Structure formats: C-alpha cells, structure tokens
Amino acid sequence: MPISLIVLTAATPLSLVVTISSPQEPTPPVVDENIRSYWFGAEQNGRPGGSTGEPEGPSENTAPSNGDEEQSIGPHECKTVKDNVQVCTPVRRKEGGPKVSPAQLAMEEWRRLPIPAPRVRTAPPRRAAGLVGLPEWFWVTNWRSLGGRASAGAAWVEVSAIPQRMTIEPGDGRHTVRCPGPGAPYVPTKSATSQHTNCSHTYVRSSAAQPGGAYRVRVAVDWGGTWRSSEGTGGVLPPLSRSTSFRLRIAEAQGLYG
C-alpha cells in the first residue's frame, strides 16, 4: 500500500507530501506465445520448470491417454482400388491379443481374391448343335493369374493365384475330361485338319433323350496359390476351384445312301 510522508521546512510554512509505493513482485516478461513464452514456478518434484511455456512431458512410466492411443500408428491393411488409389484401414485387435502372423495374413488375402468362374467357349458353338462322332472343343477365355497384397504395420504379404488345370464333366455319363491348360481356341478361318487340341470330348449319342434335349456340361478350373512376405517367409496356399455349367445340344448326323 502507498505510504505518505509530510516534510516541514523552516523557511516557509510549506508542507510536501511524498507518496512511496510498497515494493512489488517482479512482473515476468510477456512474449508472443506463438514464438516463445516462459513458465515460472516449479514442478511437483521440486525441479524448476522448463523454458517452453509448458511443464515437461510425462515420464516413460506414465500411461498414455485414450486419445494418444487412437492417434498412434498401428497395423493397417491396404488395397489398391480404381486409378491406383490405395485405401488403408486400421486392423483392430483386442488389447494384448496375439499378433497376426504373415501366414495368417496371407490366408486372409487368399480368401478375398476375386477368383472368377471360368468363361468357356466351345466348337461347334453352343448356339448350334454339335454332332455325334465329331469332337467338341472346349477352351477358357479368362485363364490368367491374379495377385493381391495385404499389410499390417510395416509387415506385408503378397499372394499370387495361378490357374492350373481344367476338368470337364460332359454330362453323358462317360469319362471326365482333364486338361492341363485352358484348351486351344478353334479358329473358323483355318481348316479343321490343321488344328489340334488336348481338351475335347466326342459324344457317341445324341442329347435328344436328355432333359430339355441337351446335356448338362460342368467345367471347373483348379487354382493354386503361393505367398511371400516382407520377413522373407513364404509358402504354398490351399487349392481353390471355380466352376460353371451350361447346356449343350448334340445331334445325330444321318447319312443317305442311294
């Protein structure tokens, strides 16, 4: 609080009042807090505060808050979509749950691969009737390999799927046709004698007595898969099969002799 003193002089009856303020605590400097500020005081452990405007961060034994856990970088799974855009989503796991191994990650990606059913063409074409005694050609037009990739944190796996063999059930109750590949396409502009295939079936009876007047044909393609990971591990994946079925009419050619 201010203190007033009265001073009297002998020469003139004059009084002078001098006001003296009591000492105050020093005021800390104020600096733009966006540039630098000062933090006065001490932490609970008695050490002086830092010079950045905030107390020192928590010790290593301090548990992070829920917000810190949500913002932390964790395992993510990424897939490439249209226009080479990669979309990554976090892999949620229970606290303390087991880590996903590269083999498990590869199996998950293997099950998600869009392996298609075979697209089959025939010669003679299915819109026309085949003939008894004439080999019916079969071939697959979408015979190609596929691949996928999945990641969890810094680890990743790559999965490859390869079509391996084709199996044909011609529907006439005879033997099953097994082809080591997609079959050879028949080219109408070439002569029949100049073309060959290892994927055909010759019917010995017409399909007139079958339901709907056609044989029910089933074609299946077996797929094999392999995987490799960023850890240098890899292996073989269990086989998969995709199939399709269709109707095929077979007519009996009649010969006339004079």
User: Using one digit for the tens of pLDDT, what is the confidence trace for 131-156?
Assistant: 999 999 999 999 999 999 999 888 99
pLDDT tens, residue by residue, 63-122: 444 444 444 444 556 666 655 565 666 555 545 456 789 999 999 999 999 999 999 999
**CA separation for the pair 17, 8 (Å, rounded):** 10
Class for domain 100-251, per CATH? mainly beta
> Which pLDDT belongs to residue 58?
44
- What backbone torsions phi and psi does residue 60 show, to the nearest 5 degrees? -65, -25
DSSP assignment of 205-227, as one string?
S-STTSGGGSEEEEEEEEEEEEE
> Which pLDDT belongs to residue 132?
96
Domain boundaries along the sequence of the chain? 100-251
**Of residues 256 and 172, which shows the higher confidence score?**
172
- What backbone torsions phi and psi does residue 106 show, to the nearest 5 degrees? -65, -40
pLDDT tens, residue by residue, 206-242: 999 999 999 999 999 999 999 999 999 999 999 999 9
- Strand 215-229 with 146-152, pairing: unpaired
CA angle 161, 167, 169 (to 5 degrees): 145
Please identify which residue in the block is written with the tokens 């050619």: 253
